[in-house]
Amino acid sequence: MLDNFPRGTICIEDIEIGMTRHLVKEVTDRDIELFAEVSTDHNPVHLDDAYAQDTIFEGRIAHGMLTAGLISAVIGEQLPGHGTVYLGQTLKFLAPVRPGDIVRAEVRVTDMDIAKRKVVMVTECSIDGKPVLKGEAVVLAPSRKFD
């Protein structure tokens, strides 16, 4: 284990194309309320049952960026882990996430430049195997050369 990196951090020297990591989380009403508070996005489609029932979603949905935040959690906690710096992220929202949904957020390494410490990953969130979010992340991974 590296002295300056917590357990679970994967340095650029150890990352391989095809590596994957994931997390699974149930999105709760509390998650949505806290996200609204932190982000200041109080759109009633997220918070008001009666309002949301009359929208194209026919019910409340989680903030899209709350779902995208699960991707950030996988990257920041697992692959590469602590010390990772986000450089970019594309997102395509495919379906709504509702309170009570169990979301699987996964990242998979598709390309890397060891000399520049850059890692490219396909990112996806799904519910029961159905994608609800797809994208691509580019990150700067930690390196043992700088510990």
pLDDT recorded at residue 2: 43
Q: Is residue 104 part of a domain?
A: yes
Q: What is the dihedral sign for C-alpha 48, 54, 59, 62?
A: negative
Which residues of the chain fall below pLDDT 70?
Answer: 1-7, 146-147
Cα–Cα distance for residue pair 112/4, rounded to 1 Å: 23
Written as six digits, the tokens of 22 are: 């994931």
Beta strand 85-93 pairing with 102-113:
unpaired
Is the CB of residue 120 less than 8 Å from the CB of residue 135?
no
pLDDT recorded at residue 6: 58
Residue 119: CATH number of its domain: 3.10.129.10
Cα–Cα distance for residue pair 126/84, rounded to 1 Å: 24
pLDDT recorded at residue 145: 81
Q: Is residue 37 part of a domain?
A: no
Range of the domain at 119: 12-27+64-146
Number of domains in the chain: 1
Q: Is residue 112 part of a domain?
A: yes
SS3 (DSSP) at 107? strand
pLDDT digits (tens, 9 = 90+) for 62-102: 999 999 999 999 999 999 999 999 999 999 999 999 999 99
Q: Is residue 137 part of a domain?
A: yes
Q: Is residue 36 part of a domain?
A: no
pLDDT recorded at residue 5: 54
Rounded to the nearest angstrom, the gap between the alpha carbon of residue 46 and the centroid of all alpha carbons in its chain is: 19
pLDDT recorded at residue 109: 98
Q: Is residue 88 part of a domain?
A: yes
Q: Is residue 113 part of a domain?
A: yes
pLDDT recorded at residue 1: 37
pLDDT recorded at residue 97: 98
Question: What does pTM read for this prediction?
Answer: 0.91
